[in-house]
Amino acid sequence: MTPLADAAALTAAWQDKAPGRSPHVLALDWDGTLVDLAEHPDAIRVPPSLPSLLNRLHNPPGRVVLIISGRARDDLARHLPGFAGVLLGNHGAEALGTVPPCAWRQMISEWARRVPGVWLEDKGATWCVHWRSVSAVERPRLLNEVQAFLDAAEDPVYRARWGHMALDIVPRAANKGTALAAWLQQHIGADWRTQALVAALGDDATDEDLFRVVEPQGLAVQVGDREPTRAAFRLPNPTAARRWLADRAEGA
Ligand SMILES: [Mg+2]
């Protein structure tokens, strides 16, 4: 694994950049970043202290927390009762309004139905094909099948994005990075890059779009050992991410 700057270096960079910039924004992915991944999206375990930690970090106008996830906004809200910060769901697709139907939808759901261990998660504006429950022996064949499907399929509106043992089907216009940039532009202003300090934490390939948007003025933090990444910093797992955030809540 490529060594990246660690939690201590991240804290030093945060403390170096923070003075004179406002607000301080934490743009956080959810699964694999704040909570451990689970066999099924409904099976995640949310640490009881997490909602209050996030609320302590969200204290506008000086401190803002945005959760930017592939989950639907309502799903995030269900896991974070009382969260006062900002929830951007479905990779930002929910902000796009009505999107035309996906030509792949039927083909994908039929395929998912006949392959044991594969299931299709309907998140409203996006879909996700999961194969975490497929045995390791079966996975290479499965991935070849998925790749063959993608090579043959074309959809002007939707695209497929590989995730962690999952394939996200999202509108081409939806992107976590553009969703974050649009929010920052609307709520802070066109000069948000120089006014605000933004740190983005994420574990998956779709979080690279967040990293691209916050760099170089902000901080891009890969959670976990995924490679390659454009992030300059790495926290090893969600526990370490929550610990780093808890230190920020204490004002360190
Ligand atoms: Mg994630």
The CATH number of whichever domain residue 66 belongs to comes to: 3.40.50.1000
* Residues acting as catalytic residues: 29
Name the pLDDT band for 53 (thresholds 50, 70, 90).
very high
Domain that holds residue 197: 7-95+174-249
- Taking the CA atoms of 225, 145, 89 and 49 in sequence, report the sign of the dihedral they define: negative
Query: Is 0.85 topped by the overall pTM?
Result: yes
Average model confidence (pLDDT) for the chain? 92
Q: Say how many Å lie between the CA of residue 125 and the centre of ligand 1.
A: 18
Q: Say how many Å lie between the CA of residue 8 and the centre of ligand 1.
A: 23
Let me know if residue 100 belongs to a domain: no
Which CATH number do you get for residue 125?
3.90.1070
Let me know if residue 218 belongs to a domain: yes
Q: Say how many Å lie between the CA of residue 149 and the centre of ligand 1.
A: 24
On the question of pLDDT at 82 being above 70, the answer is yes
Let me know if residue 224 belongs to a domain: yes
Q: Say how many Å lie between the CA of residue 67 and the centre of ligand 1.
A: 11
Q: Is residue 144 domain-shared with residue 241, that is, in the same domain?
A: no
What local confidence, expressed as pLDDT, does residue 150 receive? 81
Q: Say how many Å lie between the CA of residue 20 and the centre of ligand 1.
A: 31
On the question of pLDDT at 205 being above 70, the answer is yes
Residue 238 CB burial class (10 angstroms; 0-12, 13-18, ≥19)? buried
Domain count, the chain: 2
Last residue of a domain, one of 143, 171, 199: 171
What local confidence, expressed as pLDDT, does residue 252 receive? 58
What local confidence, expressed as pLDDT, does residue 125 receive? 84
On the question of pLDDT at 151 being above 90, the answer is no
Q: Which residue has the higher pLDDT, 88 or 164?
A: 88
Q: Is residue 190 domain-shared with residue 128, that is, in the same domain?
A: no
pLDDT in tens, 116-129: 889 999 888 888 99
Q: Is residue 119 domain-shared with residue 229, that is, in the same domain?
A: no
Contacts of 59 (CB under 8 A, 6+ apart): none
